[in-house]
Amino acid sequence: MKKRILVLLLPIYFTFALPAQESNPAGPPGAPIPQWLLDNWATRTQDRGTWITDNSAYKSDDEPFDAYGLQWEYGLGKKHLKGRLYCIREGKDAGAVWQFLEFWDPAAAEARIVQIGSDGTLGQGRIWRLDDGSVKEQQTFTSPGGGSFESGHHIWMGNGENHTQSFSIKDGEWIRRRYYIWKLTKE
């Protein structure tokens, strides 16, 4: 019975809507996964799909991690992407702080992201491609304690590296936060 209840609740999370922003329209409801999204997933999953970034600019007593890793893999059928953001301390995986699921929502004809943090915080939002080929994400997060906030990312590739600029979003204004350069690890 629990599995049936879980299946019924998941569509509620996956259809959470956000206000429209600049976007690259994908087409009518029922549209297939756009090529830009398939290409984006292929880039992130290449080799082992593991990308590492240095955290020395942000390292502190509260954040003692030397680096972070992002690990991406396809779900069965290559119709969605699963990911994990983990901490690296003294060269070792210190544990995941975020788990991700990216997918194409055919009903809304848009790319979606859902993520859950190690503390139970849930983020939900959408992903869209800009005219220059870069990608933006916008999510609303809710915490088990009742708080909520909005966050965004601007993501692009350059010289084989993945660049991410994070933002907090307050009253529709995107406020710059952290900038990271992620390098693909090779086996």
Encode pLDDT of 94-107 as tens digits: 999 999 999 999 99
* 114 in Cβ contact with 14 (< 8 Å): yes
Return the pLDDT at 11. Answer: 33
Q: Which CATH superfamily is domain 2-184 in?
A: Calycin beta-barrel core domain (2.40.128.20)
Helix or strand (DSSP H, E) at 171: none
Reported as a pLDDT band with limits 50, 70 and 90, residue 30 is: confident
C-alpha 140/C-alpha 142 separation (Å) is 7
C-alpha 185/C-alpha 100 separation (Å) is 20
